[in-house]
Amino acid sequence: MNQSSQKVTFTGALREPLSARIDWPVGGAPKAFALFAHCFSCGIDLSTVSRISRALSEENIALFRFDFTGIGSSGGDFANTNFSSNVQDLIAASQFMSQQFTPPQILLGHSLGGAAVLSAAEHIPSANAIATIGAPFAVNHVEHLFAHALEDIRQQGQAKVQIADRTFTIKKQFLDDLEQQTIVDKIGRLKRALLVMHSPVDEVVSIDNARRIYEAAKHPKSFISLDDADHLLLKSPKDSAYVARVLAAWSSRYIQ
């Protein structure tokens, strides 16, 4: 049987329509729903996300993935977004899932999306299992992607930057919001199971970030090394499939 996807739309934090997709399991009714947060500027069509979705489907887990405000097919202006609005988009997604389908029991975030799920988790009580892939411990880590433009952004109020062959407008409010964020306390009071997945050779977000997240968390917590995987899990399709299989096996202990 083939995996089926359902396109849906819900209202995000900035009152814009956000484009989402539910990937249903191949075997019928899912045993759980997972809510996915993509990496900074990536979008849900990244091949890594699709591979994770297919692998989770084989484990009878439905995946709800969406584009943050101003990304992909979602409405709104990326320039008006920030980390806080991403967190609120996640909360809005969980509320939509609860109203229209089933509340998410699993939260999964990739890179800055991992930091977002760590921040949003306390507002999503249905999620018993929280997992991150290559997540930064400090959210302002993302500034390295446009370090050359930081001075222009602060002095001129905004600047256009190139990220992964695409042009984005970054405003000073985005930087100000990053500087105000801290997730260490939120990690410490999760009171939910946490799985930290990270590659020791990640050149974008160093493995030390995983150590700091793990140390800030209380049990139950687990760490899985992604060995020679790259940050976006694009080098080998086996890496994203491995992430999904590990997540499914680990979360089975915590989902109802």
**Averaged pLDDT for residues 176-201:** 95
- Residue 57, phi then psi, degrees to nearest 5: -60, -40
d(CA 17, CA 75): 5
**Averaged pLDDT for residues 3-21:** 94
pLDDT tens-digit map of 123-172:
999 999 999 999 999 999 999 999 999 999 999 999 999 887 789 999 99
Please tell me what DSSP assigns to residue 55: H
pLDDT of residue 164: 74
pLDDT of residue 2: 60
pLDDT of residue 251: 96
Of the candidates 90, 112, 125, the residue with the CA atom closest to the CA atom of residue 18 = 90
CATH superfamily of 4-139+183-251: Alpha/Beta hydrolase fold, catalytic domain (3.40.50.1820)
pLDDT tens-digit map of 71-114:
999 999 999 999 999 999 999 999 999 999 999 999 999 999 99
pTM, to two decimals: 0.95
Q: For residue 8, what are the β-bridge partners?
A: 20
pLDDT of residue 77: 95
Helices of type H across the chain:
47-58, 83-100, 112-120, 150-156, 172-180, 184-188, 207-216, 237-251
Quick check: 26 and 2 in contact, CB under 8 A? yes
Of the candidates 36, 75, 34, the residue with the CA atom closest to the CA atom of residue 57 = 34
pLDDT tens-digit map of 196-240:
999 999 999 999 999 999 999 999 999 999 999 999 999 999 999
pLDDT of residue 135: 98
